[in-house]
Chains A and B, each alone.
Chain A
Amino acid sequence: MNQFIFETRQKTIFGIMMLIGLISLLITFMGDDQWHTRFWSNVLHNSVFFTGIALMALFMIAAKITAWAGWYTVFKRLWESFSLFLIPGFVLMTIIAIGIWAGWHHLYQWADKAVVASDPVLTGKSSFLNKNWYTFGGMIIMGGWIFFALKLRGLSLDQDTNGDTNFTQAHKMRVWAAPTLPFIGFSSAAMIWLWVMSVDAHWYSTLYAWWTSVSLMVSMIALTIIILITLKIRGYFPLVTIEHLHDLGKYLFAFSIFWTYMWFSQFMLIWYGNIPEETIYFNIRLHHYPVIFYINIVCNFAIPFIVLLRNDTKRKYGTLMFISCLLVFTHWINFFLMLKPGILQTAHPDVYNVPGFNIPGFLEIGTFVGFLGLFFYFVFSRLEKASLVPRRDPYLMESASHHT
């Protein structure tokens, strides 16, 4: 089957998921403090998570094109659809940015003029950590991402109808993919500092952007595996074989290890240096969030390491599906652990036991389900817009006979 059909039943399921999300957000909004901190932190958490996943899909496509890689071609429409989620992501992040100007929320300490004026550290950082960078810098950078995503998607769709033996579109894609890589490389770090790291406005870590990007990369690969297996069982993607899933499983394994490497490098240096303004970050997280702190390490490192170490677990739907579902959820928890403690300390200094900030509650999970529904709905509706198999792609044969 070359043409994906977005069935009404799937639309209903994703609709219900989005409804659960909306209701969760509404309930969160009702019983909240004066800045609606829980509501806004949930919106920020999920918006960053899914926008980042879309960005990583774009990065992966660009990296594959630049490396002359062919094996991913049979399912590249999936990553293209992922990357287009940058457009809803742009809207979501812009809403949060407008919230800073309008004073709807109090997520970021640096957004408060009075605090910045009396705080030498924040004054020193104010040339980067300010509303203008957050809003307009963010819009320009995300605009650039969307531009590259649309460019690569457009060329890929054009190839389906007008592809020729001179491989015009493939050559153009190479031209556009090359600048995409450094652009994402540098700009993603800036956006992660603004969106995620600056919730702890006084603290910084040079590793942070890579660590976060790898977390998003693992989630992206895991979502790819989940959707591929689900659609394969329904009869789509006949050309995607267990060999492609095996390679995706290797990615999942490798990036999980890389995530741990980053996590540990950051943790050990701060532990060893033992400087109070640096250790405060892990001090809060270790002593007030012990459960999710250890869940984070065990589920993002130990379980994928043990399960995916063997050859045959990467070649079975069951184990791949289990580990992918687990990793999407636990990397979402990783983001929870990055964002919530900092936001809580900004809104209510020295307060720790607040519902929805210690551990993900029903409302947080409901919001996650809602955003997941939105993501799936968007991706599936993009999948429907084009043929699932890129018919005239020069790498199609190489990909179809892929063998690990």
Chain B
Amino acid sequence: MKHPEKNVIFGLYDDEEILKSAVIKANEDHLRIMDVYTPFAVHGLDPLLDLKESRIHIGGFVYGLTGTLTAFLGMTWIHTRDWPQIYGGKPYWAILSFVPITFELTVLFASIGMVVTFYIINGQGPGVMNPILHPSITDDKFCIAFETGGLENSEVDKLRNFFNNTGASLVETKTI
């Protein structure tokens, strides 16, 4: 997927606690944060950024249900209509012996479906290159980014001041 280009100013922080207090400060100053990038999931950051609960698990439920029905109805059709055979003296429609496969297909459908959904939503996939702001975000630094497209110089200076006041160790601008 091709992203439109963006002008960005970002600051790097050394510690997640400094990052969190900076996010609180930004909320107080009514600055519109574009995104926050961290090397690992920071607890307590979601409510500060006002992020909504992911809806991917609803997808997971639907995929799982699809798997359940596929396996159960498929085996029912095979064992009662298409090719009825007696195994171990059990009836054709031996529900109990369907349970393990039904369970397996439920898990398989749910997991693969959720992974594929996740990749499509995020524009990920084989061969897709995603721009990153700074390599150390994937290592040990925590980043807050603001979009600067369409902002006046005084407003960008305000953002620069914000980074300096909240203890950012590096402030840079970049076009991604």
Residues of A within 8 Å of B53, CB to CB, are: 311
A403 pairs with B96, CB closer than 8 A: no
* Size of interface on B: residues with Cβ below 8 Å to A: 11
B96 pairs with A271, CB closer than 8 A: yes
A–B pairs, 8, beta carbons within 8 Å: A264-B99, A268-B97, A272-B90, A272-B96, A272-B97, A274-B88, A311-B57, A403-B43
List which A381-398 residues lie within 8 A (CB) of chain B.
Answer: none
CA distance A69 to B99 in the complex (A): 35
A268 pairs with B96, CB closer than 8 A: yes
CA distance A107 to B13 in the complex (A): 69
Return the CB mask of B97-111 against A: 1 if under 8 Å, else 0: 101100000000000
Nearest CB in chain A: distance from B40 CB, A? 14
Residues of B within 8 Å of A267, CB to CB, are: 96
A403 pairs with B89, CB closer than 8 A: no
Return the CB mask of B19-54 against A: 1 if under 8 Å, else 0: 000000000000000000000000110000000010
B96 pairs with A274, CB closer than 8 A: no
List which A264-283 residues lie within 8 A (CB) of chain B.
Answer: 264, 267-268, 271-272, 274
CA distance A281 to B105 in the complex (A): 31
Residues of A within 8 Å of B97, CB to CB, are: 268, 272
Of B44, B57, B99, which contacts A403 at CB under 8 A?
A: B44
CA distance A271 to B89 in the complex (A): 11
List which A240-267 residues lie within 8 A (CB) of chain B.
Answer: 264, 267
Question: A264: nearest residue on chain B (CB-CB)?
Answer: B99
**A interface SS class:** helix
**B interface SS class:** loop
* Size of interface on A: residues with Cβ below 8 Å to B: 8
CA distance A402 to B53 in the complex (A): 19
Question: A312: nearest residue on chain B (CB-CB)?
Answer: B53
Of B43, B44, B99, which contacts A268 at CB under 8 A?
A: B99
Nearest CB in chain B: distance from A207 CB, A? 15
Nearest CB in chain B: distance from A261 CB, A? 9
Residues of B within 8 Å of A271, CB to CB, are: 96
B89 pairs with A274, CB closer than 8 A: yes
Nearest CB in chain A: distance from B42 CB, A? 10
Residues of B within 8 Å of A274, CB to CB, are: 88-89
Nearest CB in chain A: distance from B87 CB, A? 9
Question: A268: nearest residue on chain B (CB-CB)?
Answer: B96
CA distance A206 to B100 in the complex (A): 20
CA distance A274 to B44 in the complex (A): 55
CA distance A271 to B88 in the complex (A): 10
A272 pairs with B44, CB closer than 8 A: no
CA distance A268 to B102 in the complex (A): 14
Residues of B within 8 Å of A272, CB to CB, are: 88, 90, 96-97
CA distance A311 to B57 in the complex (A): 10
Nearest CB in chain A: distance from B75 CB, A? 15
Return the CB mask of A16-42 against B: 1 if under 8 Å, else 0: 000000000000000000000000000
CA distance A274 to B43 in the complex (A): 52
CA distance A271 to B90 in the complex (A): 10
Question: A402: nearest residue on chain B (CB-CB)?
Answer: B43
Residues of A within 8 Å of B88, CB to CB, are: 272, 274
